[in-house]
Chain A
Amino acid sequence: MAWLWQWHNAGLSWLPFLGMVIGAIVVLLIGLGVVTYEIYFERKVLGWMQGRIGPNRVGPLGLFQSFADILKLLIKEDVVPEKADRSLFLLAPVIAFIPSFMVLAVIPFSRTHVFTANLSIGALYYLALSAITIHGVMLGGWASNNKYALIGGMRSAAQMLSYEIPLGLSLVGVVLMAGSLNLNDIVSAQRTWWFVIPQILGFLVFLVAATAELNRTPFDLPEAESELVAGYHVEYTGFRFAFFMLTEYLYLFAMAGLAATLFLGGWLGPWLPGWLWFAIKVAAFIFFQFWLRATMPRLRVDQLMSFSWKVLLPVALLNLVITAVVKAWV
């Protein structure tokens, strides 16, 4: 069975290739499964925090609620508005989805990096791909030929552009400490202590910028339902809408994986197996995002932009300089 995950150094033949294909399909299934239960737990957690029960009808404890929702979306009519730019409208959700799945290719799920690539530029690969999703969102908003969608798409682009810089700069501190962009090497470099301790400033910047990149509360302006109805996906129905949602929740999973890998020691931890430690850290990050949603009110759009440029960017640069100076003398 070793060929299943020992394809990294194997020569080119069918057995290692089959291992790769199975690995990629397993990651796809893990991703879809995680997204299904992220949605369920988001609704449950929000319910508990607001003194409600949450979904409890479909299956025991409502565990099959998300499957029912997916099935319902699959049999819903696919409406393309008459005035929309048809080809772009049809393509936009796919353009948004492709990079969201591709970023999972480098997240090291466990000690032996089973199923995932060991790229030497892992962190850069993640950032480069996640930037492509902006195009899908903006094209979707523009092609709908709808005022809400246009404003939502524009806001989303401005927000993702602005917060990508603090996100990228907060990673430089981690890269400085580990001396590598390879995510597996970064995990190994955290054996003495997790980078969240020496990089606490970088972690805080990362946390805020990641929440904004994910378009989650308090930074959910692109889909501020009280002003923009639903933002860039107002006109989308059925499975095309489902792909926008899938993109959003896959990124939540991937970002949680990235946070766990870069700052929380990835699969490192005593007693329990590596993949379980990784799962616990990912679950903690995802729960934190749901908790924020239940607690925080939404920011105003002008506060949002100036916060990124006037607070996060200087703090990220400061963190970078401090890390470099300390590392030069220690």
Chain B
Amino acid sequence: MSQYFNEYLFVILFIALAVLLPLATIWIIGPMLRPSRPTRGKLETYESGVTPIGDSHVRYNARYYLFALLFVVFDVETLFLYPWAVSYHWLGKFGLVEALLFIIILAVGLGYAWRKKVLEWN
């Protein structure tokens, strides 16, 4: 029990350090060292030196929408395969058949997406 606790306490220390480092450099030490002289031109959005046109917070065609859906399916598959892989040596041949069925069902899904041309980026 104490080991379990200690390992995660160590991880929490890492979170604390990871928050402290940017806090110290960007928000505490940084402002003492760096100048701050904003001008109109400096605050303008960069568009290769040309006067920027319009806004970028627009409705945007997220091409990877379908990829994101596929990602969820296969990421969950991976997630189920991890515990299976850890306990594989005492699941034996039964575990092998079950996992094969699981993988085949998802492989059929991938084949379907492939045929429907979801995997093209155009």
Contact = CB atoms under 8 A, between A and B. Distances in A.
Contact of B85 (A9, A161, A176): A176
A273 B88 CA distance: 33
Contact of A124 (B71, B82, B89, B100): B82
A23 B10 contact: yes
B86 A79 contact: no
Interface in B86-116: 86, 88-89, 92-93, 96, 99-100, 103, 107, 110, 113-114
Nearest to B26: A239
Size class of the contact patch on chain B? 35 or more
- Which secondary structure characterizes the binding site on chain B? helix
Contacts of A27: 14
A169 B78 contact: yes
Given A94-B22, A124-B82, A235-B46, A313 B2 contact: no
Interface residues of A, number: 89
B64 A157 contact: yes
A191 B16 CA distance: 36
A2 to B, nearest CB: 15
Interface in B11-62: 11, 13-15, 17-19, 21-22, 25-26, 29-30, 33-38, 42-48, 55-57, 60, 62
Given A164-B71, A328-B93, 12 more contacts: A12-B5, A75-B35, A77-B34, A83-B45, A117-B8, A145-B57, A146-B45, A161-B67, A165-B78, A181-B82, A235-B46, A310-B119
B119 A306 contact: yes
Nearest to B91: A328
Contacts of B81: 169, 172, 320
Interface stretch (A96-104, A256-264, A286-294): A96-104
Contacts of A124: 82
A27 B78 CA distance: 30
Contacts of B119: 305-306, 309-310
B120 A302 contact: yes
26 contacts: A9-B2, A9-B6, A20-B10, A74-B30, A74-B33, A75-B34, A77-B34, A85-B57, A146-B46, A148-B47, A150-B60, A154-B62, A158-B67, A172-B82, A175-B82, A175-B86, A180-B86, A302-B120, A302-B121, A305-B121, A309-B113, A309-B114, A313-B110, A314-B110, A328-B92, A328-B96
A63 interface: no
B86 A102 contact: no
Interface in A137-178: 142, 144-150, 154, 157-158, 161-162, 164-165, 168-169, 172, 175-176
Interface in A73-132: 74-85, 93-94, 97-99, 101-102, 104-105, 116-119, 123-125
A24 B2 CA distance: 19
B121 A306 contact: yes
Contacts of A305: 64, 67, 119, 121
Contact of A93 (B22, B45, B63): B22
B11 to A, nearest CB: 5
A298 to B, nearest CB: 15
B35 to A, nearest CB: 5
Contacts of B8: 117, 119
A161 to B, nearest CB: 5
